[in-house]
Amino acid sequence: MAIREIELSDKIALSILELLQHIGRWETYLQLWPATPRLCAALTELFAQIINFLVRAIIYYRDPPHSKCDICFYSRYLDNQANIYVATPERYRRAAFTFFNEKIEKILANIVRLADNSEKEALLALQIGMCQSLINLIILF
């Protein structure tokens, strides 16, 4: 069970790092072409899925102990004081016996699909802008 928890934790961490590398570029798209409703809609949907992923990651890492035993409370207290998180049995259970991994996979697949769509919409917005500029040049001459 600990191996699945480590694998899932690594997947979440690597996905967050990958998303952080792209968020700046997507924000630049909105600054370059703010008046394109299709690009705005695509990026809004993409950012909504990113928020969904981050909320689920927070839920995964912020696993409160469900046992009322003194040992669990004491170990959690020590972990909080040291600012170190040690996987609890509840977190192992979630990684091993639930569909949390599949949920994360679906969300990440949606993010990839929406990111591709956003890239296409940004390219389309660029092409439309170039065509409009060319038309304006032709009209001036």
Give residue-wise pLDDT tens across range 59-94.
Answer: 877 765 444 443 444 444 444 555 555 555 565 666
Nearest Cα residue to 113 out of 50, 63, 46: 46
The pLDDT tens digits of the residues spanning 21-58 come to 888 888 888 888 887 899 999 999 999 999 999 998 88
For residues 42 and 114, is the Cβ–Cβ distance under 8 A?
yes
Q: For residues 11 and 68, what is the distance between their CA atoms, to the nearest angstrom? A: 30
Domain range summary for the chain, segments of one domain joined by +: 2-140
134 against 65, higher pLDDT: 134
Q: For residues 70 and 57, what is the distance between their CA atoms, to the nearest angstrom? A: 27
The pLDDT tens digits of the residues spanning 91-114 come to 566 655 566 778 888 999 999 999
Q: Helix or strand or coil: residue 34?
A: coil
Confidence (pLDDT) at 119 = 93
